[in-house]
Amino acid sequence: MKGARPTTGSEPRKRPAGTSAAPESPVFIPTRSRTDVRYARNAILRASDTRDLLRSEPLNKHLTLGHSPDPDDAFMFYGLAKDKFDTKGWTFEHVLQDIQTLNERATRGELDITAVSIHAYPYIAETYALTACGSSMGDGYGPMVVARYTMSIESLRGKKIAIPGERTTAFLALNLILGVGTFEHTVVMFDEILPYVASGKADAGLIIHEGQLTYADHDLECIVDLGAWWKEQTDMPLPLGGNCIRRSLGQEAMEEVTAILKQSIEYSLAHRDEAVAYALQYARDMGHELADKFVGMYVNEWTIDYGDVGRRAVTELLRRGAAIGMVPDIGEIAFIG
């Protein structure tokens, strides 16, 4: 019964007449012998596979997969979306949202697999592991700051800049080049930044995705290409985004699923024309030729695997981010795959 004193398995001793009761403290005495416990444990092990006991949560082979509604991500996951190869019983629910939203959802651990900005990763590293495949690397190119008229990089300080999100890698790189707190910023949906700046609502805009190829259509000037700046600074590509997977799936499942993600990327690269045709539905203001160019910029050998250089680039970017107080220092990153 609730509130009842713990039992010892035997009747309590009677107090000799004339003596007072000593204050009681609860004493818990196990009611099972070591033999009983060992028998129960062995029965459990016989009933269940040992690996299932070690897994932190029941295995569910239907996973949510979050990525951006843009051509490079669509291209990357074409094979999965269209069931082009055997996924060994794993199924995927594709969740298409902008990268800022995916970054925010990752902080709440809402998706099993998700695209994430490298800038955001230190904030979710306890919940998610970065996969070795699926990166978007700008090798001498990347996010740009654009404006209605030409100005120096230094002139951007003190200006109002429209950005696609505070946890995007583009925003981290912008703070690395200009300095933290040296400019005003306002968050605008990534595909609305170009008209936002063109209409004079901001002095400049930080553009990502296909805006890097279409900004001139809005009569805007490129002030700085942050991928080119990073390459000059480090001689490495700028790691913009990656895929991460929930750690609670367990090491074995993470490795198996990551291999499937890699297979999807390899399938799309091997069937480029049909994968680009599929990705065109997410290519805003781009025809086939321009979409193919954009896909080639961000789905390539770096996407199949970061490699040593890509891993060093991630480490260096986050080290510099921690040095200016933009991200927590998480030390060395162990990639899955």
What pLDDT does residue 3 have? 38
CATH number of the domain bearing residue 214: 3.40.190.10
Same domain, 227 and 253: no
Query: pLDDT at position 46, please?
Result: 33
Buried b or exposed e, range 251-288, using 16+ CB within 10 angstroms: eebbebbbebbbbbbebbbeeeeebbebbbebbeebee
Do 223 and 154 fall within a single domain? yes
Q: Which residues are 115's β-sheet partners?
A: 243
Residue 168 lies in a domain: yes
Same-domain check for residues 244 and 230: no
- Let me know: does 227 contact 143? Beta carbons within 8 Å: yes
Domain closes at, from 181, 216, 234: 234
Catalytic residue list contains 209: yes
In a domain, 187, yes or no: yes
- Considering the domain architecture, whether residues 195 and 166 belong to the same structural domain is answered as yes
Residues 156 and 300 in one domain: no
- Predicted confidence at residue 60, as pLDDT, reads 80
Asked if residue 220 and residue 184 are part of one domain, the reply reads: yes
Whether residues 310 and 247 share a domain: the answer is yes
Q: Are 298 and 279 in contact, with CB atoms under 8 Å apart?
A: no
Kindly name the residue from 67, 119, 209, 218 that is annotated as catalytic. Answer: 209
Residues 166 and 246 in one domain: no
Q: Is residue 277 domain-resident?
A: yes
169 falls within a domain: yes
**Residue after which a domain boundary falls, among 217, 234, 251:** 234
CA distances from 299 to 74, 136, 246 (A): 10, 7, 23
Query: Domain limits at 78?
Result: 62-138+239-323
Alpha carbons 286 and 276: distance in angstroms, whole number = 12
Q: What is the CA 190 to chain-centroid distance, rounded?
A: 18
Instruction: Supply the Cα-derived Rg of the chain in whole angstroms.
Output: 27
Residues 211 and 90 in one domain: no
Task: State the pLDDT at residue 13.
Answer: 37
Q: What is the pLDDT of residue 210?
A: 84
Determine the Cα–Cα distance for residues 312 and 239; give it in Å rounded to an integer: 10
Give CA–CA dist 103/98, Å, rounded.
9
**Is residue 329 in a domain?**
no
Tell which residue, 220, 219, 214, 216, has the closest CA to residue 205. Answer: 220
DSSP assignment string, 23-41: PP------SS-HHHHHHHH
Which amino acid would we find at residue 286?
M
Residues 154, 222: contact at Cβ < 8 Å? Answer: no
Please list the pLDDT of the chain residue by residue as tens digits (337 residues): 333 333 333 333 333 344 434 333 333 223 333 333 332 333 323 333 333 433 444 468 999 999 999 899 999 999 999 999 999 999 999 999 999 999 999 999 999 999 999 999 999 999 999 999 999 999 999 999 999 999 999 999 999 999 999 999 999 999 999 999 999 999 999 999 999 999 999 999 999 988 889 999 999 999 999 999 999 999 999 999 999 999 999 999 999 999 999 999 999 999 999 999 999 999 877 888 988 999 999 999 999 999 999 999 999 999 999 999 999 999 999 999 9
Instruction: Evaluate whether residue 333 is within a structural domain.
Output: no
DSSP result, 78-96: HHHHTT-S--TT-EEEEEE
- Residue ending a domain, among 171, 201, 234, is 234
pLDDT value of position 283: 85
In the prediction, which pLDDT does 6 show?
A: 34
42: in domain: no
pTM of the model: 0.81
Q: How many domains does the chain have?
A: 2
Tell the residue number behind the tokens 């805007």, with chain if given. 220
